[in-house]
Chains A and B, each alone.
Chain A
Amino acid sequence: MWKIIKARIKQGYRTLKYPKEEPVFPERFRGKPVITGPISLEEVRHKEFDPTGALTDSNGSAVDLGKLLFNEDVKKVCLQGHLVYSQDYRMAVSKREDLILKNNELKLAYALEEKIKKIFGRSLRLREVCAGSCNGCDSEIQALNNVVFDLSRFGIEFVASPRHADGLMVTGAVTKNMELALKKAYEAVADPKIVIAVGACAISGGPFYGGKEVCNGVDSLIPVDLYVPGCPPHPLTILDGLLRILDRLEK
């Protein structure tokens, strides 16, 4: 008993001050990309470094965060190094088209409709469905429950059944083998309900985009209310998105 109490005192208080204080990320952290100079079509020569088409689909005039894998290699697409990553972790949006970064601006997620917000605003229960991820995003969602991020202090919790949930949090490109299970889980959630797609796979298929065994993302099957880009997204990127749709961040 004494040992446990001693350990408790030693461990101290470890929860982040977020959202009151902004978190600090290491220098190499790859957050929201920034285009520092003009990228013209002629410059986009090394298309092979952008297999998911995050930059090349728009000929370099925009970056699709839903397709971006936040990797280093993609920088090589721009010959003059005009693509860099910032330390900005805030990237979750409400609509798929908002994930297209133009002029380095992103329309971040906005609050749910007043009526729904009234129901979910102070207590949101989510059911997580992994539908063909690599377990990376799921590990970060799990990390939200640890003492550092302490998700439950915001009244958000993960529950064991879709019947107990207000919405789904989905990861993975949705494999053919998970299609039915995902649809059934969605139907089992009572209305009104929300769906959150976490990670590049759930948004666009990620590295598996175009594969024979996957459906290229969640919104090809069920409507999505919040998109959290990343591969995998940092827990704070997910948390930021959640707090935004619940209108819990001070403006």
Chain B
Amino acid sequence: MVLRKFCIWNGQSWNLSQVPVFDADIFRKEILEECRSGARVVNLFGALGEEGDIRMFAVISKDDDAKLSLFSVLISKDKSVFPSLTPELTAVHLFEREIAEQFGVVFEGHPWFKPVRYHENFRNVPDCWPGISSKPIPGDYPFFKINGEEVHEVAVGPIHAGIIEPGHFRFQCHGEEILHLEIQLGYQHRGIEKMMEEVTLERAVLLAESVAGDTVIGHVMAYCSLIESLSDCVISPRAEALRALALELERLSNHIGDLGALGADIGFLPTAAYFGRLRGEFLNLLMELSGNRYGRSFCRPGGVLFDLDPGMKDDFRRRLSVAKKELKELAELFFSKPSVLARLEGVGIVSEKTARELGMVGPAARASGLSYDVRTDHAFGMYRFRHLPISLASTGDVFARAQIRWLEAQRSLDFLLELLDQIPKGELCKTVSPLKPGQMALVMVEGWRGEIVHVAMTDPQSKINRYKIKDPSFHNWDGLAMAVRGAQISDFPLCNKSFNLSYAGHDL
């Protein structure tokens, strides 16, 4: 039998009926074979089929090919079981747990079958884990435990010591050495995906801005592009350029803020103070542009709401040039100190093999040598015309992740300074026509943490009936758990800051 292949591009929409439905065996075989030859599972998610069955979709990407392959499988509503792929493909373990939680599908043979966010399923059928939402996390599903003489457990959270989001970390330790870390999230679960299907489009854009408060532009850009794709709206080059400007400002503020946080954690306070202040300069530029320090109300379906006036352009150029100079001086101060390097190098290593196995994305993956960046590999918007060089490291330690932040910040600054001189003309915001019925669309955006993926499906009445969000943190939390394995407990804060993952983005 010849398999019907269906390929899509980033930002494309297509008729739902075009997506091939495979038998369970072929579905599994196809994913495993593709991944064996170097492909990556970008997304694996469920949706309700027409007959009440569960339709599971797989989106597969080959790094050297800008196309994505898409196929699906039907799982019966009465006997919702599916043989787990996890034993053969680690990267899908959390996807399977998520589908199990959302649609009540039991994945047979899953080695760590546990709820992800502790909520009731979307189908009103018995949950895979009875009483899942009636007890506080972790309910009846205990943490992985190591037994042995002098092995002890350290429990942290959900409320942490710093001003950060809630999550639970359970360390299994021998003395100071971390043998295993289990990260249990779900405390931030606000039910965004389900709400996206229930609310009006005017409200949905506000929810998209609140997926992760430090990645406002990244997520809302994905949402807007998705709506534009579903309504055949092509935004103007000017709007594309301004969105890229906001996205890079967001990346700069976060990368630089995290370098400051690393400075604070290793006790090099001058750099913590200077980087912290410099982060604010980029937030203030976003406020200048959009009226909000995180760029809220900037992107809307059809374009952007604010223009960069000629006067502002010169001001931006001047301020970015100053910031570039300051960043260089600060980074040189930070990265040239032997005591800084001693604390960062060789700590929290994630090997390239591990990163690949876990499906890691973004700067954390690039620090481990995985050359993958949506801006280059699945170029979208402005990035189709202007390329950013990928920053790559190979050691996979805290130093590499810090170095990648600095490199990417420099690239972003160069990109912006060049972009400011050549912002094309065009309409700021177009009117968006109603969504097409029975369609599906996918958008990927390289947020500062990595690959953001939004997928939407519309019903015959043109209403969104499935909205799937994937934040880069979804994959990368596992990377953090692996990074601290074998490290000291006191290395954890450092490793954590080098990743700086989103709890809200993971919990949705």
Contact = CB atoms under 8 A, between A and B. Distances in A.
Interface in B182-208: 186-192, 194-195, 199-200, 202-203, 205-207
A140 B253 CA distance: 13
Interface in A15-62: 25-26, 28-30, 48-49, 51
Nearest to B167: A130
Contacts, number: 178
B191 A212 contact: yes
A14 B161 CA distance: 27
Interface string A179-214: 011000100000000000000010000111001111
Interface in A115-160: 128-143, 145-148, 158, 160
B274 A231 contact: no
Nearest to B117: A177
B237 interface: no
Contacts of B60: none
A28 B306 contact: yes
B81 interface: no
Interface string B320-338: 0000000001100100100
B190 A147 contact: no
B195 A135 contact: no
Interface string B165-181: 11000000000000000
A213 B274 CA distance: 39
Contacts of A143: 280, 283
Residue of A30, A130, A141, A161 ringed by the most chain B CB atoms within 10 A: A130
Given A28-B291, A73-B297, A232-B294, A134 B329 contact: no
Interface stretch (A1-9, A90-98, A243-251): A1-9
Interface in B266-305: 270, 273-274, 276-277, 279-280, 283-284, 287-294, 296-297, 300, 305
B210 A134 contact: yes
B21 to A, nearest CB: 31
Q: Which bucket holds chain B's interface residue count?
A: 35 or more
B162 interface: yes
Nearest to B333: A7
B213 A136 contact: yes
B502 A132 contact: no
B233 to A, nearest CB: 17
A135 B504 contact: yes
A147 B273 CA distance: 6
Q: Say what secondary structure dominates the interface of chain B.
A: loop
A99 interface: no
B277 A147 contact: yes
A188 B273 CA distance: 32
A135 B471 CA distance: 14
A211 B163 contact: no
B151 interface: no
A181 B294 contact: no
Nearest to A158: B163
Contacts of B503: 135
Nearest to A87: B291
A133 B213 contact: yes
Interface string B494-508: 000000001110000
Nearest to B291: A28
B166 A181 contact: yes
A212 B189 CA distance: 10
A214 B283 CA distance: 29
B213 A177 contact: no
Contacts of B187: 132, 175, 177-178, 181
Nearest to B502: A135
Contacts of A132: 187-190
Contacts of A212: 191, 194
- Shortest Cβ-Cβ A-B pairs, 5 listed: A136-B213, A51-B203, A134-B213, A213-B191, A160-B161
Given A177-B117, A211-B195, 9 more contacts: A3-B333, A28-B290, A71-B296, A135-B213, A135-B214, A138-B164, A148-B280, A177-B187, A207-B207
17 contacts: A10-B329, A48-B203, A133-B188, A138-B165, A138-B213, A139-B213, A141-B163, A175-B189, A177-B136, A178-B158, A181-B136, A181-B158, A207-B209, A211-B190, A212-B191, A231-B292, A232-B294
Interface of B: 117-119, 133, 136-137, 158-159, 161-166, 186-192, 194-195, 199-200, 202-203, 205-207, 209-214, 216, 270, 273-274, 276-277, 279-280, 283-284, 287-294, 296-297, 300, 305-306, 329-330, 333, 336, 502-504
